[in-house]
Amino acid sequence: MENDKFLISSGIKSSLDNLESIKHTHSFWRNKIFSACESGTLTRSDFQYIFCQYYKYSKDFTRYIAALMANCESDYYRSCLSMNLWEEGGGANPDERHAQMFRDFLQRTLGVRNLDEIQYDDHTLLFAQQYLDRCRYNAAPYGTAFLSMGTEGIVSRMYSILIKGMRAAGIADDDLRFFKLHVDCDDDHAEVLAEMMASYSDRPDWYNTCATAIDDALTLRGRFFDSLYERLWVRRVEPIAEDVRRGPALAENGADGRRTAGQVLDHQLATVPAGTKPTVQRRPDECLFFIASGEAEITVDGRLHRLREGQHVAAPRWSEVSIANSGSTNLHYLCVSDRHLAQRFGQFGRAGSAAEHPVAASTAAAPAPSSLRANA
């Protein structure tokens, strides 16, 4: 019956399983934000930007459910959706509504002081509007699939990935209440929506409609996440570009009126004792190695360079570099690189040391060359 709970037959269950497969294997799960979370290369500042933009979607979420309710013919499933709205709204305590919990996370954990001053990027506004339009202007069979498997049904897996990235950025578990709550409860919401979706299985072309809706929801979110990630990269280099554009007179940004150094370049004076076995590193920065004293054999991508005091060699980004002391005395060399630029792009890890980054690998058990940072 239209206004009763729908009983899912084995045949419909098979179709739902196929739709679940579309969800689980969708390209959305390979978006750039998730990849960065898995590798632990996002910072607290990155998450501040990401979730300030995500706030638009979060506070509008009840509008998506309300739009589906308006298109739903069944008073039984409208009642089910109203329970979803009730929980999203905090039940009898509106101060505990999920949107408010997300506001608390932004303010208390990420330090966003005035939420009304958040400037939403164009891709954020487009994503939120397209999401609302999909729920508002499509019939209930599409809308239920869009909000069940395409939205609520991904929350547990999606937020688990984001939680992993936030933990890597140093955000404490106690500050992740909003995300943990949704990992726990949204599967129930998705189950009700999936049942509601199945109730339309007698409609013409029902399966293809559902498959299209799921793909639309995940594609929209995937584009949004990729846009956020691209913007993160721009934000990381904007201060440098702005410094260059404004010119030397306006680029004085030190507390004492002098320019602060190290936006891009980093320099280290390293010592390699005689007899030390060489190490191999694949570095994400461009490097120039200058021999201050001693003799060295520096191999760059398989090409051997024999260098003495006063000589130098350059190594391209991501080249494989091996440095060996080929003399009988200590080798001292100066390494100048754009390591600070590589750090902005999430390479070297947060510690900022090539030796601590997973791309740096030693080919021998001998200790790495000691390294002292020279003061400017």
The pLDDT tens digits for 256-308 are 444 556 788 888 999 999 988 887 888 889 999 999 999 999 999 999 999 99
CATH class of the region 266-373: mainly beta
Arithmetic mean of pLDDT over the chain: 83
Q: State percent of the chain over pLDDT 90.
A: 55
Q: Specify whether the CB–CB gap between 131 and 220 falls below 8 A.
A: yes
**In the chain, where are the structural domains located?**
10-245, 266-373
Split at pLDDT 50, 70, 90, the class of 357 is very low
pLDDT at position 169, please?
Answer: 94
Angle of CA points 192, 194, 195, to nearest 5°: 65
Q: What is the mean pLDDT of residues 63-83?
A: 86
pLDDT tens, residue by residue, 91-141 = 556 655 667 888 899 999 999 999 999 999 999 999 999 999 999 999 999
Per-residue confidence band for 331, with pLDDT thresholds at 50, 70 and 90? very high
pLDDT at 220: 98
What's the Cα-to-Cα distance from 243 to each of 205, 238, 240, 271, 346, rounded to whole Å? 57, 8, 5, 34, 21
What confidence score (pLDDT) does residue 352 get?
A: 37
Contacts of residue 54, Cβ cutoff 8 Å, sequence gap at least 6: none
What is the predicted pLDDT for the residue at 297? 95
- For 21-25, 52-56, 220-224, 237-241, which range has the lowest pLDDT when averaged over its residues? 237-241
pLDDT category at 242 given cuts 50, 70, 90 is: confident
In the block, which residue shows the tokens 């966003």? Answer: 112
Token digits of residue 109: 């954990």
Grade residue 11 by pLDDT with cuts at 50, 70 and 90. confident
pLDDT at 1 over 80: no
For 88-105, the pLDDT digits (tens) are 655 556 655 667 888 899
CATH number, span 10-245: 1.20.910.10
Average pLDDT over residues 213-233: 96
Q: How confident is the model at residue 142 (pLDDT cuts 50, 70, 90)?
A: very high
Q: Taking 80 as the threshold, does the pLDDT of residue 180 lie above it?
A: yes
Give mean pLDDT, residues 33-54.
Answer: 94
Query: What pLDDT band is residue 178 in, cutting at 50, 70 and 90?
Result: confident
Does 87 score more than 80 pLDDT?
A: no
188: Cβ contacts below 8 Å, ≥ 6 apart: none
Instruction: Please give the pLDDT value at position 370.
Output: 39
Give residue 110's pLDDT: 95
- HEC assignment per residue over the chain: CCCCCCCCCHHHHHHHHHHHHHHHCCHHHHCHHHHHHHHCCCCHHHHHHHHHHHHHHHHHHHHHHHHHHHHCCCHHHHHHHHHHHHHHCCCCCHHHCHHHHHHHHHHHHCCCCCHHHCCCCHHHHHHHHHHHHHHHCCCHHHHHHHHCCCCHHHHHHHHHHHHHHHHHCCCCHHHCHHHHHHHHHHHHHHHHHHHHHHCCCCCCCHHHHHHHHHHHHHHHHHHHHHHHHHHHHHHHHHHHHHHHHHCCCCCCCCCCCCCCCCCCCEEEEEEECCCCCCEEEECCCCEEEEEEECEEEEEECCEEEEEECCCEEEECCCCEEEEEECCCCCEEEEEEECHHHHHHCCCCCCCCCHHHCCCECCCCCCCCCEEEECCC
Q: What is the pLDDT of residue 260?
A: 55
* Residue entry with tokens 């699939």: 145
In the prediction, which pLDDT does 348 show?
A: 61
Least trusted range by pLDDT, from 27-36, 165-174, 193-202, 207-216: 193-202
Percentage above 70 pLDDT, the chain: 81
